Amino acid sequence: MATFTVKDKSQSEVWAALSSLKGAGWAMAVISGTVNLLALTGAFYMLQVYDRVLLSKSIPTLVALSLLALGLFVFQGALEIARSQLLVRIGSRVDRKFTAGAHNAAMRLALRGRQGMDAHQPIRDVDTIRSFLGSQGPVAILDVPWMPLYVAFVFLLHPSLGIVTFIGAIVLIGITLWTERLAREPTRTLVRAASQRIALVESTTRNAEVLQAMGFGHRAMQRFASSSAEHLAAQERVSDLTGGFAAVSRSIRLILQSALLGFGAYLTIHGEMSAGAIIACSIAASRAYAPIEIAIANWKGFVAARQSAARLSTVLGEAAAGPSPLELPPPVDNLKVEKISVPIPGTQHVVVKSVSFELKAGQTLALIGQSAAGKSSLARAIVGVWGVARGAIRLDGATIDRWPVAQLGSYIGYLPQDVELFDGTIKENICRFDETASSKAVITAARDAGVHEMILRLPDGYETKIGDRGRALSAGQRQRIALARALYGSPFLVVLDEPNSNLDAEGEAALAKAIEGVSARGGIVIVIAHRPGVLAAVDLVGVMDRGQLKAFGPRDEVLRRATHQKQGSGAPVAPEEVILPQPAQRKRQGHELPIASQ
């Protein structure tokens, strides 16, 4: 499996996994060696027929030779079938080894700000490697080392023909190496163009309603057409290179075979070799050149697979930087945020600056502030979705990166601003697809979120399939089921980002009750406030402004102080108006003015 070597073999998970396939590799080598030895059957058969049978006119000898050749051909065919099936199994084994790591790598890339096909690249890399291993490319690579066998056979027939065959092999190998050099960068360009093209398709389908409603679908189509043209141009360049060199190699092979036949006939006329040797020489030379021709035809797949292995080596190596953290006791006491600064993943732009606060078990906090104040960014950092550039986030004294991810996740409930549910049943979504989840735990979470009765009214209750992203549900239903998911397992820390943005009065009442329930059992709740109704359910308020925590303390005290600072005169202002933007506000006319949110 030396095809996929990388610069640092000792540290490459890809290399280690491929090296573990040495047993299968040796089996492939033995099978390929036997197949290539048996491939000389035709040459020997023709040599014997022309030089022995035709001269002796012996029918029994012809029958015996034919039966022997038939048996060897059948055996060769069976070995080639076994080799092909073994390569497919090796590809499947590689897929099984890498799929989990590639999926985790895709999630890490998404958390770093990579979206769409960029985040999916590790999965596609695994598919590329598996597809290549199941193609004719590895067969050709395994057959190339046996070229000297056929060249030596031709040398035995006549040294001059052997020299011609050897020169032809060198020329074809040179074409192969030239193909590799020229196709490397165009193949990378093709991969990038394909990713951009598919990303545009995903974006268009995801926003189909907006495109249709506002009538700019034709502009999206123009963008896709432009990207598609770039992709086709890159594909044409790669295909032209590999196809062109394949055609050149095929023409050279035909020329060489014809030259060997003509030169062999010349030697035969002068009595230096037999007529049977001409045919045998042609068959052996054809077999020597075939792997190179097949390799050139499959070179695009080979280059793509090698680049995929290199990318996988990088992303999987990042995940294996150290040993897994020790499993710690469940947090029960406090959350500390110590002077953290949080950049947007993949950039140097810091959106949360030196924020510190501490929450004890049973306390509830609402983070309020204007749009782009850093509230959601802070929430993402607290639950471990975004990394911190400086400072630390601790649960019971341990920084959150010292907890195993799966263990930490069981102690955290998170409701993001953009609710995402998964294709499956309501039960599966609430229990986070835990196959061991009990019905009692699922129903408890639903009751805590005040959504149990609503679920029972659905056609199949908890077994209702909601489709991709929960399309079968309304926005409010999705948000309430996502709240139940956040509360599943009675997590110690619950972070809710604008949890009432799609809720009606009944939903808001259920949300307030859920917050009080977490507090009553000794959990910690952090809420990104969107509308003022949720403020009544918390006892602490933090005011975010341009990435900094400007105020923090008891709810009434912070709101009163913020009110005085905003109004200047000290006249009372409604809590929801404390953090509205500075321009003059219109009269509410009986409607709630929402708090500006990130």
Give per-residue pLDDT as tens, 257-289.
888 888 888 888 888 888 888 888 888 888 888
% residues pLDDT > 90 (the chain): 24
Q: Does 486 score more than 50 pLDDT?
A: yes
CATH of domain 10-318: 1.20.1560.10
Q: Can you tell me the mean pLDDT for 535-549? A: 90
Rounded-to-integer distance, Cα 194 and Cα 301, Å: 15
- What does the pLDDT read at residue 71? 94
496-540: pLDDT as tens digits: 998 888 787 888 888 889 999 999 999 999 999 867 778 888 999
Give first-to-last CA distance, the chain, whole Å. 51
pLDDT of residue 176: 78
Mean pLDDT, the chain, as a whole number?
A: 81
Task: Write out pLDDT tens, residues 99-150.
Answer: 777 777 777 777 766 665 566 778 888 888 888 888 888 888 888 888 888 8
SS3 141: helix
pLDDT tens, 327-384? 888 999 999 999 999 998 878 889 999 999 999 999 999 999 888 889 999 999 999 8
- Residue 548 main-chain phi, psi, to 5 deg: -115, 150
What is the Cα Rg of the chain in Å?
35
CATH number of 331-411+492-501+534-582: 3.40.50.300
Q: How far is CA 525 from CA 342, 464, 491, in A?
A: 21, 29, 10
- Confidence class of residue 10 from pLDDT cuts 50, 70 and 90? very low
Looking only at the bridges linking them, the beta strands covering 390-395 and 334-343 are antiparallel
Burial 336-364 (b: 16+ CB within 10 A, else e): bbbebbbbebeeeebbbbebebebebebb
Helix orientation angle between 159-206 and 147-157, rounded to the nearest 10 degrees: 160
Q: Do domains 10-318 and 331-411+492-501+534-582 have the same CATH topology?
A: no
Q: Who's near 516: CB < 8 A, 6+ residues apart?
A: 537
* Sequence spans of domains, the chain: 10-318, 331-411+492-501+534-582
Contact 393, 337 (CB under 8 A): yes
| pTM of the entire predicted model | 0.68
